[in-house]
Structure 1
């Protein structure tokens, strides 16, 4: 699912519903945002999925990929999903602001 246009809140929620339907139909996790969908200010990468040979993981920062590796070897963790949509967006933006983070933006994440 390539996301390269400006969305309003309604269309984002529709895209999430489409993504949830596809994920449930295939019975596997599919990243909502893939590395080729946006241009982050930092480094992004795709790495082999060590749990599922033949699949890749999409990471939007080096810290994210290192944290994935940290979680991968934690015996308490049974399943890791990357690039899972946080909705509603206005709540995610509020919490990011309260924690002192700038909410991620890019070509696919501009909201009206």
Structure 2
């Protein structure tokens, strides 16, 4: 039996928004996805950032390694991982305009909130 229900539904999306996920800057940012939200056979890690002074969630070694490079750059002022591309309607319009199918949740048919691995602010 599975430990958690990981299916993302419209209700869960609303819950994430109310929790403040994908919102904030610097130490107040909450990632849209956390390690426990995503099933994985790979390695996921957490680490504290110098730039942001908060815990970061990495879904792969590549994300983590890129973060380390950014974290030690004097030009970077904020690093946000698992940043949601919202509103959902905009990513659906973009997908339609470029002629690709927007990702959907297999069991519910609802659209997936897409994320970018890392969003960087520089001065």
TM-score (norm 1): 0.60
RMSD: 3.8
Identify, as 1 or 2, the structure richer in helix: 1
Rg larger in structure:
2
Cα offset, 1:89, TM superposition: 4.0
Alignment-derived partner of residue 58 in structure 2: 59
**Cα pair 1:19 1:32 within 8 Å, conserved:** no
> Quick one: higher RCO (CA 8 Å, sep 6+), 1 or 2?
1
Structure 1: runs of 5 or more not aligned: none
Once the two structures are superposed, residues 41-70 of structure 1 have per-residue CA deviations (whole angstroms, 9 ceiling, x without a partner) of 432111233342xx4211011111111111
Flag structure 2 segments of 5+ consecutive residues without an equivalent: 111-123
Specify the alignment match of 2:8 in structure 1: 6
Q: Which has the higher strand share?
A: 2
